[in-house]
Structure 1
Amino acid sequence: MTQPMQGWPQPGPITAWRTLDLHASKPPFAGYWSMIPLVVRIDGFEHRPNWGWSQFTVPADRPVQVSCSMAWLWEFGRAEYLVHPGEAPSLDYIAPAQQWVSGSLAPRGQAVIKGRGAQIAMYAVLGLFLVAMFGLLALSLTL
């Protein structure tokens, strides 16, 4: 379980509110990610929104810690971002292409897909294995 930063949520009354827009997406060729639930933590409070667009009401007069991850057998693809007062609260979360790397949480348009090289390498090895298997099968049928 993720621990919130020390001092979060901050004490004292909240004087103003703003809407945090979060767009959570999965990388191409990772269709199985849509079956894994998304976990969003805002100042340590957990939410379970669907993939796609979500909106959250957050304080406007103080920094807000946002953390996104995916929970299956364990939590993976974790990424964090601190939204400061006065900053446009519109974030993108892109799940990683592989579960062994972190996700990307950044302001709108700045998030990147992480783990793409490992995903391409895995598909290339799988493709070579299948070509070798069919090649051996074809060779055994001709002999």
Structure 2
Amino acid sequence: MSETPIPYVGDHNGPTRVLRLHTRRGVVAKAGLTVGVDGAHYHQGWGSAAFEIPADRPVHVSVSQGGGQAGVAATVLTPEQPAELEYRGPAALYLAGTIGAPGTVKQRGCLLQLAILALVPLVMLALVIVILLAG
């Protein structure tokens, strides 16, 4: 985790706090992330990062992979909520990621990915059987 938080760049003169964002890859993941804080975008690696945010108003936080096109997830963090979030990338990049309180986010698409990976060998086996029986 970076010790010095990334400064807030929006127009705000009130109190601030530090958002700790923990990111975890999905089964398939792009090399890096784009984190959005109230519309300002930061390119980050996987792991943890710290961002300075306003303490007296809601803040919009978004995370995406591949320049904003894959695994998109967003939330609004209110002043009453703890300033700690976790992002989990999806099992397939065409699905949305998840963002929320640490320990509450799940990886989307695991069952779908498993079904696809299990279905391909079954279809191939069925084709081999059909060819053997027909020949």
Normalising by structure 1, we get a TM-score of 0.74
Equivalence map 1:1-143=2 (5 Å): 13-27=12-26, 30=27, 32-33=28-29, 35-71=30-66, 75-128=69-122
Unaligned segments of structure 2, at least 5 residues = 1-8
- The one-letter amino acid paired with 1:42 is V
- Distance in 2 between residues matched to 1:131 and 1:23, nearest whole Å: 42
1: CA distance, partners of 2:10 / 2:21: 22
Structure 1 residues without counterparts, runs of 5 or longer: 1-8
- Shift of the alpha carbon at 1:109? 1.2
Moved >4 Å (runs of 4+)? 129-133
Kindly provide the CA deviation profile for residues 47-96 of structure 1, in whole angstroms up to 9, marking residues without a partner as x: 11110111111111111100011116x60111111111132110010001
Higher relative contact order by CA 8 Å / sep ≥ 6: 1 or 2?
Answer: 2
Identity %: 30
Q: How many residue pairs get matched?
A: 123
Please tell me whether the aligned partners of residues 31 and 45 of structure 2 are also in contact (alpha carbons under 8 angstroms): no
What is the CA RMSD across the aligned residues, in angstroms?
2.4
Structure 2 length as normaliser, TM-score? 0.78
